[in-house]
Amino acid sequence: MAALEVVSHTAPDLILVDALMPGMTGWEVCKKLRQRRQNATTPIIFMTGLTETEHVLRAFEAGAVDYVNKPLRLEEVLARVNVHLEASARIRATHRALDDVGRYFLALNRRGDIVWTTPHAARLLENIPPSLLAELSIPTPLPAPGSVLLRHRAEDHELSLIFVGATGNGMGEDERLLRITTQAHQPERVLQDRLGLSAREAEVLLWISRGKTSRDIADILSVSPRTVDKHMEQIYNKTGMSTRAAAASTASRLLQEGQGRP
């Protein structure tokens, strides 16, 4: 369907699906949408003129969060849409907040399918080969919290998927919560990427975070102390920080997050 193609390139806030459509039923559409990671938490409201319980249950089993009967009552539809939009917005805000503090999470269902991720976790998962992700499974009985379920070494960092625990998703099913951590092989790359610094500026900031003076850094990098101070001026200009202590503190925090420390 053309709509599925459009959704594959966008992240809609909410999706309305009709039960009976030419070419593909609403139940089939729901299942296909839920198989796509980017639509895992998008609210899907099912519209149907079929009122039998089995049809409604099929909608929920396919991934719908709600349904409305035909003929549609506009006020009711809008009320349900608003409720689910607000709930979805809260979930997205929570996921962004987790990313902001360096906590990159994803959840699996009992079959091992990924049902949701925080935004940065989704980006990190793109670095793991699909064939390796397909082998990801959680043993029964459940492993101890902190157990590493998967490791993947990329070019400049190593990704680990760590089991956190099991939690209910509000629909009578357990979700397996995992956290992604990253271990940088080149810590200065973390500072370069996160703060928009040049490679040499990132090196200078790395040594500052380790308590080195400008003269120490000059000796390590084989440059003059004046050159180090010029790099520091650029670091302040690019990051908005104004003191050496603030720069060292920020660098230490980013490096800890990059190494996946709690």
pLDDT at 128: 87
Alpha-carbon distance 161 to 5, whole Å?
31
Highest CATH level, class, for 102-184:
alpha beta
Identify which of 252, 86, 104, 75 has the alpha carbon closest to the alpha carbon of residue 181.
Answer: 104
pLDDT at 62: 86
Give the CATH architecture of domain 187-258. Orthogonal Bundle (1.10)
Determine the distance from the C-alpha atom of residue 199 to the mean position of all C-alpha atoms in its chain, rounded to a whole number: 27
For residue 198, what are the contacts with CB-CB under 8 A and spacing of at least 6? 192, 234
pLDDT at 261: 43
pLDDT at 3: 73
Which residue ranges in the chain fall short of pLDDT 70? 1, 37, 155-156, 168-173, 184-185, 258-262
Determine the distance from the C-alpha atom of residue 13 to the mean position of all C-alpha atoms in its chain, rounded to a whole number: 17
Q: Does residue 12 contact residue 43 with C-beta atoms inside 8 Å?
A: no
Q: Where are the domains of the chain?
A: 2-89, 102-184, 187-258
CB neighbour class for 118 (10 Å; exposed up to 12, middle 13-18, buried from 19):
buried
Most distant CA pair in the chain: distance in Å? 80
pLDDT at 14: 92
pLDDT at 20: 86
Identify which of 4, 53, 54, 9 has the alpha carbon closest to the alpha carbon of residue 31.
Answer: 4
pLDDT at 260: 47
Highest CATH level, class, for 2-89:
alpha beta
C-alpha distances out from residue 116 to 42, 45, 91, 119, 249, Å: 10, 18, 11, 9, 32
